[in-house]
Amino acid sequence: MAKESCSERNAFDILKQLEHILESDPLIIFLYSFLTSSYFAELKCRDEVGFVHPSQFLALSGGSDASSQSPVSNVHSTDGISTTGISEAGVMQYDYTIFWNRDHKLAISTQVLLPLYKAAMHAFMAVAKEYRMVINLLEDTDSFVNESAGDNSSDSKRILENELMRHSKALLVLSGDFGTAWNSRKLVVSRKESYSLLMEELQLSALILSYSPKSEHAWSHRRWVVKMIAGKYWNLQELMGKESELVEKIAEKSRMNYRAWHHRSWLVTYMTKKQVLDELNESRRWAELHVADNCCFHYRRRLMLQSLEGNYSKESPSFVFKSELLMVWKEELNWDELLIKRYIGREALWVHRRFLSQCWINHFMADQSALCQHSENYNLDSFLNNELQLLHSCLSVSDNDFEDKGMHAQLAASYILWIWKLLGREIQEKHKELGELKTILNKVSPEKASLWEALIE
């Protein structure tokens, strides 16, 4: 029993050390949980640290004794966990065997994760309960609550708010998907209505996402903060740019991160027309390097739909034609075709082409007079001829050159079948080449012969 109580006291001391580090160094980057030994070779030039095994703390210090680099007063307990006292100057010091903090990098020993989490949970739940009681007391209009009691409650509220924010931050660093802690921070921030506090919330969520990039609660909290800022502050262009940069950095380290790209797509509604076009241009390079990641192409489709909604007016009998938007779509089709020919068997490219073709047919082909004013190459016949040429180029890929040749041909034939179903049977009368589609599909994918038979018939 004595040993358990001692360990509990040590855990709360360690919690204070962690909270002190987080408060004194708000620019900490906390990335990748449970690092491997091979990772330390790159650690010196990157602002990324995480949960580290105790044996690796020596490597963090460059092979030298960490105690010689920072004056730390260590008190070793009976259970092997070290604690740190207060220096003579009254400054909190942290134990170098548990924490490592330098150049905005933070490492926490895996040895103390469990007791540290329990201490953070206990401290947070206790102050959250007390804070709710004070809030209810302040909102109570009963005559039994006098003015003096109200003043005391206000003072208690301010103290509890600071404790709640401090404890919840430490808890979220240890467990980023603890929804109750995020909600408690929303409650405090919404009552204060401070711009600087909102920016601190963005910084905290970025810290959590740096080592837990798929944390749904962290992304959701970030969107809540953006909504709060958008409702009170009109200039969002700089914020939208930083949000896009954050998503791109996280997506680079966490592939196929749907939550990150969903957040970026959600931001499109807050962007100006110029920002939408800029994002479309800037995200092209990333998409070229990650052609298998459909999330980025989904983001580009969201941008193009936003530009489409802003350039066409459905109030008039016919759409208001915008020549620059037509060129954007034409360039996207050509760019997608280039990627399809360069990267064999990438389904994300064909999904993106279906979107482009459907919008092209439904929106641009609807105003034939506007199309003819710009070029005769934009009509339906030229569009279909181009797609059929793409099909034949995909079928001519050699088996010796690419292992995904079969999948490439199947995706191309399925795409042409999809266009045929979209436009109707009258297309067969104009393009006799489509009569061979059934034969092509059965050749490239004979195991799906019954499916092709049902779709074509």
Question: Residue 201's beta-bridge partner residues?
Answer: none
Strands 51-52, 105-109: pairing is parallel
Q: What pTM value is reported for the model?
A: 0.81
- pLDDT at residue number 399: 62
pLDDT one-digit tens code per residue, 407-418: 888 898 889 888
Amino acid in the structure at residue 334 = N
**Is the distance from CB of 19 to CB of 1 less than 8 angstroms?**
no
Q: Where are the alpha helices (DSSP H) in 293-444?
A: 294-311, 323-342, 347-359, 368-374, 380-395, 405-423, 426-430, 437-444
* Residue closest to 451 by CA, chosen among 419, 390, 412, 410: 410
User: Of the ranges 21-25, 35-39, 107-111, 218-222, which one carries the lowest mean pLDDT score?
Assistant: 35-39
Cβ neighbourhood burial of 296 (10 Å; 0-12, 13-18, 19+) = buried
The span from the CA of 32 to the CA of 17, in Å, is: 21
**In the 8-state DSSP scheme, what is residue 399?**
T
- The domain locations on the chain are 2-111, 312-457
User: 331 or 53: whose pLDDT is higher?
Assistant: 331
Torsion angle (degrees, nearest 10) of CA 207, 213, 215, 219: 70
- Under 8 Å CB-to-CB from 354, ≥6 apart: which residues? 415, 418
Q: Would you say residue 308 has pLDDT above 80?
A: yes
Euclidean distance between the first and the last CA atom of the chain, given in angstroms as a whole number: 78
**Is the distance from CB of 401 to CB of 416 less than 8 angstroms?**
no
> Considering the chain, what is the average pLDDT of its residues?
77
Residue with tokens 């408690």: 184
The span from the CA of 423 to the CA of 88, in Å, is: 81
pLDDT one-digit tens code per residue, 170-198: 999 999 899 999 999 999 999 887 888 99
